[in-house]
Amino acid sequence: MRTILLATTALLLTAAAPKPLTPPDLIAAAPASAWRAIPADDLLVLDLKSGTRIVIQLAPAFAPVHVANIRALARSRWWDGAAIYRVQDNYVAQWGHNDERKMPPGVVARPPAEYDRAVRGLAITPFPYRDAYAPAAGFAGGWPVAVRGARANLTHCYATVGVGRDLAPDTGTGGELYSIISGAPRALDRNIAIVGRVISGIEAMSSLPRGPAPMGFYKDRSSDTPIATTRLASDIPPAERPSFEVMDTASPTFARLVRLRANRHDAFYERPAGGVDLCNAPVPVRAKP
Amino acid sequence: MRTILLATTALLLTAAAPKPLTPPDLIAAAPASAWRAIPADDLLVLDLKSGTRIVIQLAPAFAPVHVANIRALARSRWWDGAAIYRVQDNYVAQWGHNDERKMPPGVVARPPAEYDRAVRGLAITPFPYRDAYAPAAGFAGGWPVAVRGARANLTHCYATVGVGRDLAPDTGTGGELYSIISGAPRALDRNIAIVGRVISGIEAMSSLPRGPAPMGFYKDRSSDTPIATTRLASDIPPAERPSFEVMDTASPTFARLVRLRANRHDAFYERPAGGVDLCNAPVPVRAKP
């Protein structure tokens, strides 16, 4: 009976019931044409001292100068010896060196405020539901965006990666980064440079002990989570480098997935919401088959 | 310089800048008249074997039969020896016994589906911003609610506590509970009984290792987080019992707080959102001064 109960309990809060169609079913059945390879230059690979690997997809179309800085920092191994030094519950995990060490050549000391960008040049697939923060939203090149007139911005969703900064006009260099480990703190949108998202290993950040000092800083460095190396996948030998694909947000499969997330009819759901939050319609990413 | 940088870095992503007014400033300055004591009967106190205490505020106005069950289970010490046995990243932590042990007398085996309730009888303060899931939202007696015509339901926000159940028509007894440790999975609204929220110690659940099995179940019980005792505060000697206050969601202070969360002007914020998600406007709770 125990096994049966576990099996039935396993249906609790899940999207794994076999039929009707669930989001995981739809993603698993997506045709190859619905997937796009992520360039190795857009994959930032953090290997923790523990051996755990965290992979971040960079967003050069939205924060080109910050992303160029991050690539330069990775190539110069600037982050060697860096650590996760701040974990604030229901908010962020933050990493880097948290000191004033010198930046290597090629890093722009004061990047522009790449907090949003022109809609022109982006192919935006409209998000069909209400957004609580912007008059319109959508997806562009695999990324969720909020749209205000002629401007679009990446949104702070779970696993979004942004650039720590001091007060304006400072925009941060990219040396100190944070990842969202909570509900979507969308008030940060258009106030900070979003440079990507964690696509593998976010749980290695979200499950860390919260820091006891104000804003989740650890009281001493011995509490930090050390990062062994931070490299671009393109700097890792092809045989060893991770490789990922992202779903084409302009594909019929993705449009269907968003509608399905707003209208769950699988076993557990008796009353579909008829809508979904932009951040609760994450863009599927998978390790390359 | 390190200290200075820490001090300035401390402004990163924070709401703690001294002026202009921040949400914490406003909460700290709230008059006594803006606070309501939480009845000791509405406080469920989980003491983990580790010594960590987690306190849950129950919501009898929304799920009376399930809450009555939970009180009966606590009074009979049914949860002694229970554990947190499931932690799914960006979703839930779930606890209880996860077996089929007998319920004590007074526990309703098949409670009604207390997934929403009549608006009649609730004093609802309207939420002034868009909700992504319901046509309207608000706050009633200290709780966020989504409103659809004559019906209102509690919403799945960070730290919301709900009742694990099997497939409908089962609604769960209250013996297996979960807490949201992620962004707001609002698709669960009106599909499951919400019985309260964690008001102290949520980080003891959100920072637990994620379970490796499907849906975050741990592979063996040795990975569980044991719970020593689960009691109502009213069953703890007055001198030792925890005591909390919740902000009156009908108070001018709370109305001002919601507007302030939607329009951050403090140091870090250059561009206020002009809106806020219902779950990003949490109702303040404090230990009784």
CATH of the domain at B267: 2.40.100.10
A2 pLDDT above the threshold of 80: no
Of the CA atoms within 13 Å of residue B238, those in its CB half-sphere come to: 1
Q: Count structural domains, chain A.
A: 1
In angstroms, the separation between the Cα of residue A239 and the nearest Cα of chain B is 27
B5: which chain A residues are within 8 Å (Cβ-Cβ)? 98-100
Q: With contact defined as beta carbons under 8 Å apart, do A20 and A260 qualify?
A: no
Mean pLDDT of B71-77: 98
Contact B168 A98 (CB under 8 A): no
In a domain, A73, yes or no: yes
Q: CA-to-CA distance for A288 and A271, rounded, in angstroms?
A: 35
How many residue contacts between A and B have a Cβ separation below 8 Å? 210
Task: Quote the CA–CA distance of A175 and B85 in Å, as a whole number.
Answer: 38
Whether omega for the bond prior to residue A64 falls within 30 degrees of 0, making it cis, is no
What pLDDT score was predicted for residue B200?
98
Are A100 and B2 in contact (CB < 8 Å)? yes
- The DSSP letter of residue B243 is -
Partner-chain residue, chosen from B273, B275, B280, that has the shortest CB–CB distance to A183: B280
**Among the listed residues A189, A179, A205, A198, the one whose alpha carbon sits nearest the alpha carbon of residue A278:** A189
| pLDDT score of A5 more than 50 | no
Nearest chain B Cα distance for residue A182, angstroms: 5
* H helical segments located in B87-153: none
- What pLDDT sits at residue A289? 78
Q: Which residues of A touch B8 (CB under 8 A)?
A: 166-167
Q: Are A93 and A201 in contact (CB under 8 A)?
A: no
Residue B18 is predicted with a pLDDT of: 54
**Residue B2 pLDDT > 60, yes or no?**
no
C-alpha to C-alpha distance for B207 and B202, rounded to whole angstroms: 9
Please state, for a pLDDT cut of 70, what percent of chain B lies above it.
94
Q: B190: which chain A residues are within 8 Å (Cβ-Cβ)?
A: 270-271, 273
Low-confidence winner among A244-248, A258-262, A268-272, B118-122 (lowest mean pLDDT): A268-272
Question: What is the layout of strands, in order, in the sheet containing A143-148?
Answer: A117-118, A151-154, A143-148, A136-140, A124-126
Q: What is the DSSP letter of B33?
A: G
Helix, strand and coil in chain B, % to nearest 5: 20, 25, 50
pLDDT per residue as tens digits for the range A99-111: 989 999 999 999 9
The pLDDT of residue A12: 52
Confidence check: pLDDT of B54 > 90: yes
Across A71-85, B17-31, B135-149, least confident range: B17-31
What tokens appear for B124 in the block?
């609802």
Q: What is the pTM of this model?
A: 0.93
The pLDDT-based confidence of A20 (bands split at 50, 70, 90) is: confident
Task: Say how far apart CA B168 and CA A268 lie, in whole Å.
Answer: 7
pLDDT per residue as tens digits for the range A116-156: 999 999 999 999 999 999 999 999 999 999 999 999 999 99
Task: Tell me whether residue A234 is in a domain.
Answer: yes
Tell me the chain B residues in contact with residue A10 when contact means C-beta distances shorter than 8 Å. 214-215, 217
Q: Which residue among B13, B88, B210 sits closest to A92, beta carbon to beta carbon? A: B13
Residue A130 belongs to a domain: yes
In a domain, B270, yes or no: yes
Question: Domain range spanning residue A189?
Answer: 20-283
Answer whether B8 sits within 8 Å of A168, measured CB to CB. Answer: no
CA atoms of B63 and B112, how far apart (whole Å) = 9
pLDDT of res. A18: 54
Q: Is residue A3 part of a domain?
A: no
DSSP string, chain A: -HHHHHHHHTTTT-S--SSS--HHHHHHT--GGGEEEPPGGGEEEEEETTS-EEEEEE-TTT-HHHHHHHHHHHHTTTTTT-EEEEE-TTSEEEEE--S-PPPPTT--SS---TT-EESTT--EEEP-S--SSSSEEEEETTEEEEEETTEEEE---TTEEEE---STT----SSSEEEE-SS--GGGTTSS-EEEEEEE-THHHHTSPPPSSGGGB-SSGGGSEEEEEEEEGGGS-TTT---EEEE-TTSHHHHHHHHHHHS--STT-SS--S---GGGSPPPEEE--
With a threshold of 0.90, tell me whether the complex ipTM lies above it: yes
Measured between beta carbons, the chain B residues lying within 8 angstroms of A1 are 100
Of A90, A98, A207, which has the smallest distance from its Cβ to B9's Cβ? A98
Contact B222, B209 (CB under 8 A): no
Pairing of strands B83-87, B92-96: antiparallel
Q: pLDDT by residue (tens digit) across A209-263? A: 999 999 999 999 999 999 999 999 999 999 999 999 999 999 999 999 999 999 9
Q: Which residue of B has its CA nearest to A202?
A: B89
Record: contact A188-B13, CB cut-off 8 A: yes
Which residues in chain A have Cβ-Cβ distances shorter than 8 Å to B115? Answer: 271
Q: Which two tokens stand for residue A115?
A: 């907090």
**Nearest CB neighbour to A280, from listed B164, B167, B185:** B185
Where on the phi/psi map is residue A48: left (φ > 0), alpha (ψ -120 to 50), or beta?
beta
Q: Do B13 and A273 touch (CB under 8 A)?
A: no
